[in-house]
């Protein structure tokens, strides 16, 4: 049903929208703003959309004309919108071109690179030295048989190291017999394994993890050792001294003095412990006052670094070697301890906490 003032309302509406739209758009500064304004007029709930819904109420003779006028306005709005959008894009592009240039010489974004763990570094250095002397590298299991860890190395059955207080047994506890399974307490097991596999002459080093029920500032229940041994005819203690002295001097400092003290390990005879000049107070430089104050060597100028000896004939018999024909030497050291001495690390736990603030210092 046509309403008499509908024509008027419609015409006024078109004029108002035309003016208001142009004005609103001029104030817009960004694409989202522009789209928001556009929606207010030509969106589903927009002003023009609402006005167009009045069309059926217009008298027939004017409906066509007013319809065309409304369409023209719609197109006008569309092209005003497109222009405004282009002008915003142009503005942004110009600002970019006139802004400071892209500096391709700026450093890239920093990615923290990984690095080798101090124990791995020390292990590699130690292996390099022994490989340069002609030693082979061997590996062996961390889960071991009791006999390889103790019996065949000449430990008597009641040796304190075999006690559950000291050793992690796997499976049935309390059964200290040859087939009992345990976490190896020392890399000396490699002596047994390699000698049972190979005939002399042989020279082998073997780094690896070992396990003991021990836990304080200088002991960790898991730590790393390196075992070395050499078997041939006519091997003497002089060769043992020569190899170890050369090794320690290459690893720490060419000036260090080395001394051998008698000690006991079931699988060597004679057995010894090796001390070297303290690398913290640099005892070889002879500054007695400095050495007297050194907390690492407790003023002695010496520090204990490894165990060694001539392989016990019992070990050769246990692996089927002719103990009359062959002699050999063996040595064992803690890689953690060497890393601690080399890098001045006060607490073994630091090596296993995986704190990057600590690890990134190496
Ligand atoms: N296995 C010994 C330990 O864990 C270290 C050791 C001492 C190894 C003397 C040897 C050696 O080969 O001859 O304490």
Picking from 144, 241, 149, the residue whose alpha carbon sits closest to that of residue 188 is: 149
Which domain, by its residues, includes 198?
A: 118-359
Query: Of the residues 150, 267, 316, which should be mutated to test ligand 1's pocket, given the most ligand atoms within 8 Å of the CB?
Result: 267
pLDDT of residue 114: 87
182 and 39 in a single domain? The answer is no
pLDDT of residue 175: 66
pLDDT of residue 82: 93
Query: Of the residues 186, 212, 240, 244, which should be mutated to test ligand 1's pocket, given the most ligand atoms within 8 Å of the CB?
Result: 186
**DSSP characters over 67-100:** HHHHHHHHHHHHHHHHHHHHHHHHHHHHHHHHSP
Instruction: Answer yes or no: is 113 within a domain.
Output: no
pLDDT of residue 304: 94
pLDDT of residue 215: 86
- At 194, which CATH number? 3.30.930.10
Between CA 144 and CA 192 the distance in angstroms is 11
Instruction: Answer yes or no: is 328 within a domain.
Output: yes
Provide the domain count of the chain. Answer: 2
Last residue of a domain, one of 64, 98, 132: 98
pLDDT of residue 177: 83
Instruction: Answer yes or no: is 217 within a domain.
Output: yes
Task: Check if the beta carbon of residue 64 is closer than 8 Å to that of residue 9.
Answer: no
Atom of ligand 1 nearest to the CA of 308: 13
pLDDT of residue 149: 95
230 CA to centre of ligand 1 in angstroms = 14
Q: Which tokens is 12 given?
A: 């006024």
Q: What averages of pLDDT result for each successive group of 10 residues across the chain (362 residues)?
A: 75 92 88 92 90 87 88 92 92 90 87 90 97 97 95 89 81 74 96 97 98 86 96 97 98 96 96 96 94 92 96 98 98 95 88 90 86
Between CA 362 and CA 354 the distance in angstroms is 13
pLDDT of residue 259: 97
61 and 125 in a single domain? The answer is no
Whose tokens are 């692996």? That residue is: 319
Instruction: Answer yes or no: is 146 within a domain.
Output: yes
45 and 157 in a single domain? The answer is no
Closest residue (by CA) to atom 3 of ligand 1? 186
61 and 127 in a single domain? The answer is no
pLDDT of residue 181: 92
Atom of ligand 1 nearest to the CA of 311: 13
Query: Of the residues 159, 188, 263, 335, which should be mutated to test ligand 1's pocket, given the most ligand atoms within 8 Å of the CB?
Result: 188
Instruction: Answer yes or no: is 112 within a domain.
Output: no
Between CA 191 and CA 152 the distance in angstroms is 10
292 CA to centre of ligand 1 in angstroms = 30
Pocket of ligand 1 (CB under 6 A): 186, 188, 227, 265, 268, 307-309, 330-332
35 CA to centre of ligand 1 in angstroms = 81
CA angle 279, 281, 283 (to 5 degrees): 75
Query: Of the residues 213, 306, 307, which should be mutated to test ligand 1's pocket, given the most ligand atoms within 8 Å of the CB?
Result: 307
Instruction: Answer yes or no: is 83 within a domain.
Output: yes
85 and 165 in a single domain? The answer is no
pLDDT of residue 173: 57
């Amino acid at each position: 049903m046509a309403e008499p003032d509908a024509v008027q309302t419609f015409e006024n509406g078109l004029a108002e929208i035309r003016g208001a739209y142009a004005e609103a758009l001029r104030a817009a500064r960004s694409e989202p703003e522009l789209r928001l304004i556009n929606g207010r007029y030509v969106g589903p709930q927009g002003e023009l959309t609402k006005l167009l819904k009045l069309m059926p109420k217009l008298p027939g003779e004017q409906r066509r004309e007013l319809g065309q006028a409304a369409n023209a306005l719609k197109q006008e709005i569309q092209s005003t919108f497109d222009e405004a959008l282009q002008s915003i894009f142009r503005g942004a592009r110009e600002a970019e071109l006139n802004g400071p240039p892209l500096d391709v010489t700026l450093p890239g974004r920093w990615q923290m690179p990984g690095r080798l763990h101090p124990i791995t570094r020390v292990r590699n250095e130690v292996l390099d030295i022994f490989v340069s002397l002609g030693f082979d590298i061997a590996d062996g299991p961390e889960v071991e048989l009791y006999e390889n860890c103790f019996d065949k190395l000449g430990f008597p059955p009641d040796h304190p190291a075999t006690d559950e207080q000291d050793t992690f047994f796997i499976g049935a506890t309390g059964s200290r017999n040859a087939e009992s399974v345990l976490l190896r307490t020392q890399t000396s097991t490699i002596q047994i394994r390699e000698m049972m596999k190979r005939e002399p002459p042989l020279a082998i080093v073997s780094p690896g993890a070992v396990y003991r029920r021990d836990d304080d500032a200088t002991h960790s229940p898991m730590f790393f050792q390196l075992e070395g041994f050499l078997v041939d005819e006519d091997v003497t203690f002089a060769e043992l001294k020569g190899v170890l002295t050369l090794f320690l001097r290459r690893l720490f400092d060419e000036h260090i003095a080395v001394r051998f003290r008698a000690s006991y390990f079931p699988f060597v005879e004679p057995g010894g412990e090796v001390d070297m000049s303290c690398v913290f107070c640099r005892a070889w430089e002879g500054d007695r006052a400095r050495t007297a104050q050194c907390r690492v060597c407790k003023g002695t100028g010496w520090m204990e670094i490894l165990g060694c000896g001539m392989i016990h004939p019992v070990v050769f018999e246990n692996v089927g070697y002719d103990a009359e024909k062959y002699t050999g030497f063996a040595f064992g050291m803690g890689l953690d301890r060497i890393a601690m001495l080399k890098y001045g690390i006060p607490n073994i736990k630091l090596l296993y906490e995986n704190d990057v603030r600590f690890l990134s210092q190496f």
